């Protein structure tokens, strides 16, 4: 932001008159508008009134310290760039000032060049920050518009096409020969995949904007795991993979939404079935201490190459080739990660190519105030 004259406005708060005058002269000559204040309270008042782009603040002043002023201004004036002037530039005070919101510090004595360079750099930093913020707002808006577009312009026609195909099958299914039936069946499957992709995509955006319906209640993970395993057993059988669980009897409660957690587990177990060859094994194991519950889902499948490991939670990322046996949207793990985050938990992965992959889900457990701490996650 610039003042009425189109110049950047800089405020100097320092109790030393010579320093204020010297800085004003240098900065005005460099093309900035300058305001000065002799002490902190006056400086804060001026800043609130004129909203400067940048302020140089002396650390040591009577009444109110530079550190307190930095704290107040960084809270009150968005995007202001604050620099602390210090007579004794200790690392400790510089670090503290940065933690309170300062951009940099300027040790005394300094020369005009140092002041000019810092003012220029600080204001450039401010411009970049403002630009980044603007772009972020724009990106959020575009994403939101895109989501509306996806849900209205893509989802609705897909549903209609699926219904037409179903109707076609009902009305004339018995008149079609085998080839036609096969083509129609392929269309139906492709449309189903597309519908699933759109649904996943919408779910992820809903989690991001906080409109994804979740009913968080106190629940036990063993019931969630049992439900998920039961759901996945038929698929495992079909693919010739064994599914084993190893869950302790009494697990601490967690706070969570059962439906979305079942989806997390079925997604991860589903992946394990997709990327594990026939004869393989999936093991679900659970461990806990007083604070966390870890659930690991390990498979004996093809594994994930080390360079791809950090990418698998990214939307639409898939390690496999397009002609891979099993289709997918590349959104499953993005969904799982977001749901885990919304449960204040996390998801981690480790893998060895050709040996298998293990996903570990960590949940914070509800802490029972009566219980004494007795152990760690091994």
Ligand X SMILES: Nc1ncnc2c1ncn2[C@@H]1O[C@H](COP(=O)(O)OP(=O)(O)O)[C@@H](O)[C@H]1O
- Residue numbers of the site for ligand X (CB under 6 A)? 271-272, 275, 299, 301-304, 312, 317-320, 328-334, 357
Binding pattern for the stretch 219-248 against Mg ion, x by CB under 5 A and - elsewhere: ------------------------------
**Rounded least distance, CB 237 to ligand X, Å:** 18
Q: Pick one of ligand X, Mg ion, none as the site partner of residue 272 (Cβ within 5 to 8 A by kind).
A: ligand X
Q: With respect to ligand X, which residue has the nearer C-beta, 86 or 266? A: 266
Look at phi and psi of residue 240 and say left if phi exceeds 0, alpha if psi is from -120 to 50, else beta. left
DSSP three-state, residue 237: helix
* Candidate segments 22-30, 136-144, 271-279, 362-370, binder of Mg ion by CB under 5 A: 271-279
Beta sheet of 9-13, edge-to-edge order: 33-37, 9-13, 54-58, 81-86, 104-107
- Of 40, 332, 345, 356, the one binding Mg ion (CB under 5 A) is 332
DSSP three-state, residue 290: coil
Tell me if 34 sits within 8 A of 10, measured CB to CB: yes
**Rounded least distance, CB 87 to ligand X, Å:** 56
Q: Pick one of Mg ion, ligand X, none as the site partner of residue 299 (Cβ within 5 to 8 A by kind).
A: ligand X
* Spatial distance between the Cα atoms of 371 and 85, rounded to a whole number of angstroms: 51
∠ CA 113-117-122, nearest 5°, is 150
Report 300-329 residues binding Mg ion (CB under 5 A).
328
* Spatial distance between the Cα atoms of 149 and 152, rounded to a whole number of angstroms: 5
> Is 357 near Mg ion (CB under 5 A)?
no
> Is 52 near Mg ion (CB under 5 A)?
no
Q: Pick one of ligand X, Mg ion, none as the site partner of residue 260 (Cβ within 5 to 8 A by kind).
A: none
Q: With respect to ligand X, which residue has the nearer C-beta, 275 or 363? A: 275
- Of 271, 296, 351, 362, the one binding Mg ion (CB under 5 A) is 271
Compute CA distances 91 → 51, 105, 121, whole Å.
29, 10, 21
User: What angle do helix axes 221-238 and 258-274 make, rounded to 10 degrees?
Assistant: 30
């Amino acid at each position: 932001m610039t003042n009425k004259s189109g110049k950047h406005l800089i405020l100097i708060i320092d109790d030393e008159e010579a320093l204020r005058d010297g800085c004003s002269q240098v900065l005005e000559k460099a093309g900035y508008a300058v305001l000065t204040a002799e002490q902190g309270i006056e400086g804060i008042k001026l800043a609130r009134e004129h909203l400067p782009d940048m302020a140089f603040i002396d650390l040591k002043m009577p009444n109110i310290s530079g550190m307190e002023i930095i704290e107040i201004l960084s809270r009150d004036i968005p995007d202001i760039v604050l620099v602390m002037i210090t007579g004794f530039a200790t690392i400790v005070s510089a670090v503290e000032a940065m933690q309170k919101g300062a951009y940099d510090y300027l040790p005394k004595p300094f020369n005009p060049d140092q002041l000019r360079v810092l003012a220029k750099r600080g204001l450039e930093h401010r411009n970049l920050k403002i630009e980044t913020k603007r772009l972020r707002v724009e990106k959020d808006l575009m994403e939101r518009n895109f989501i509306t577009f996806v849900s209205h312009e893509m989802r609705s026609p897909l549903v209609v096409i699926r219904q037409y195909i179903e109707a076609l099958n009902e009305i004339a299914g018995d008149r079609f020969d085998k080839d036609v039936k096969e083509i129609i069946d392929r269309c139906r499957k492709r449309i189903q995949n597309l519908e699933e992709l759109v649904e996943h995509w919408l779910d992820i955006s809903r989690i991001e904007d906080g409109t994804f319906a979740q009913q968080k209640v106190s629940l036990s993970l063993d019931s969630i795991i049992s439900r998920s395993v039961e759901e996945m057993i038929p698929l495992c059988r079909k693919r010739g993979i064994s599914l084993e669980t190893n869950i302790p009897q009494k697990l601490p409660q967690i706070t969570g939404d059962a439906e979305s957690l079942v989806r997390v587990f079925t997604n991860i177990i589903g992946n394990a079935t997709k990327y594990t060859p026939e004869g393989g094994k999936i093991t679900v194991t659970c461990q806990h201490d007083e604070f966390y519950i870890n659930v690991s889902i390990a498979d004996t499948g093809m594994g994930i190459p080390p360079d791809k490991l950090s990418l698998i939670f990214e939307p639409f990322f898939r390690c496999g080739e397009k002609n891979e046996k099993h289709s997918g949207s590349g959104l499953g793990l993005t969904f799982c990660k977001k749901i885990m985050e919304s449960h204040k938990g996390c998801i981690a992965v480790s893998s060895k190519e050709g040996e298998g992959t293990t996903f570990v889900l960590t949940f914070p457990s509800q802490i029972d105030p009566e219980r004494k701490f007795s152990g760690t996650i091994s």
